[in-house]
Amino acid sequence: MTGDEQPLAGVVVVDVTSNVAGPFASLILADLGAEVIKVERPGLGDDTRHWGPPFVGDNSAINASLNRNKRSVTLDLRSEAGLGRFRELVARSDVLIQNLRPGSLAALGLGGEALCAEFPRLVYCDLTGFGGSGPLGAQAGYDPLIQAFSGMMRFNTQPGAPFSRVPVSILDKGMGMWAALGVLAALYRRTATGRGGLVETSLVETAGCWLSSQIINFLVNGDNPTPIGSRAAGIAPYQVFRTKDGEVMIAAGNDALWRRMCQAIEAPELLDRPEFKDNPSRAINVDTLEAEIEARLAHRTTEDVCQLLQRASVPVSPLNRVGDFAVNDQVTALGIVQTVTTASGGTLPTVGSAVRFGGLRPPARTAPPALGEATEHYFGRGPEGRDTDEGIDA
């Protein structure tokens, strides 16, 4: 995919974000071809640069995973020079994304309402933990904090086991996706109206969206979700089952798949059991169902079970490790893992965008930037403000 084929070619984004959610939002836009200018604190930069090990050179692997296709400048926004340079960037940009502590930029005259009034075409995207208003709006929010606040941790575990967070920053990356979607919608609207505007989202709102089914269930019947491990509430069989040498995930989510599964594992007698006659019955009697299925898989290897069910067109997967997934033939065929050339001439693996256009995945064009490597490119030589690890609160 060449530069002029990238959907957001020509769009300039000022990225005043750190940690995961904001950088993930701007990463989506960068992968789509936008010029993303990452504004970082002199001397320290984005907090994730120091989240490790592992490290890639002086940079953490997690920071590298979130910041390809971007340029980095260092500005001290508490200094007059840094503030002036920042306003220069905003004046020539289409989008500003920020996830600093609520009120931090507004205190410097850089809040959404002020900048959108001064630059009417600007799309200003504000990411917060608790939404920026309400009794908790001014508090900082982090992914595991909101997982606890929302109740998500209460049922993300096996029955009787300690509570656990979803370990892939699902709320951070979910908020980043909502932010990118909101920015794209605002840019689309701007083509008709000529005006940008304020886009807002938060970790709390993202949690509400992801938990929509559980929230509605509670509002309808008063039941809070409880730990069910790999199972899915109201669907059976739809969980991990033990085999002779491991585990498989079987997702027989309707009666036709249930019948095919029973035939494939040579258990047609289960079809005659009244407690398994339909999905509601199987969901109510899921403990008995699990025992019956595992008894019939106990003498079969994971590979055998997967082959039997795949031939019967029943959704099934071995319980892989991440490393198994990363080198899987399907992942390779889709070109999900890409490589990018670093400043030293080496190569760095990266996971590309999840979206393709005309069969082509947006490329990893540039490696994650060194701290401040593009400051001179955008501003020429001159003072950046004091070299410090202090700055406005993230």
Residues marked as catalytic: 172
| 380 burial via Cβ count (<10 Å: 0-12, 13-18, 19+) | exposed
Helix (H) or strand (E) holding 250: strand 247-251
Cα–Cα distance list, 191 to 15, 21, 91, 194, 289 (Å): 22, 27, 18, 6, 56
**Nearest alpha-carbon partner for 21 in 145, 135, 116, 111:** 145
| 3-class state of residue 145 by DSSP | helix
List CB contacts of 96: < 8 A, sequence separation 6 or more.
13, 14, 16, 90, 115, 122, 123, 124, 125
Query: How does strand 238-242 pair with strand 197-202?
Result: unpaired
CB-CB contact of 42 with 75 (8 Å): yes
DSSP assigned state of 337: E
Query: What would the two tokens of residue 131 be?
Result: 């939404």
| 52 burial via Cβ count (<10 Å: 0-12, 13-18, 19+) | middle
Widest CA span in the chain: 81
CB-CB contact of 226 with 214 (8 Å): no
| 3-class state of residue 360 by DSSP | strand
The string of DSSP codes covering 173-205 is HHHHHHHHHHHHHHHHHHHHHS--EEEEEEHHH
Cα–Cα distance list, 319 to 228, 265, 305, 312, 332 (Å): 17, 18, 12, 19, 19
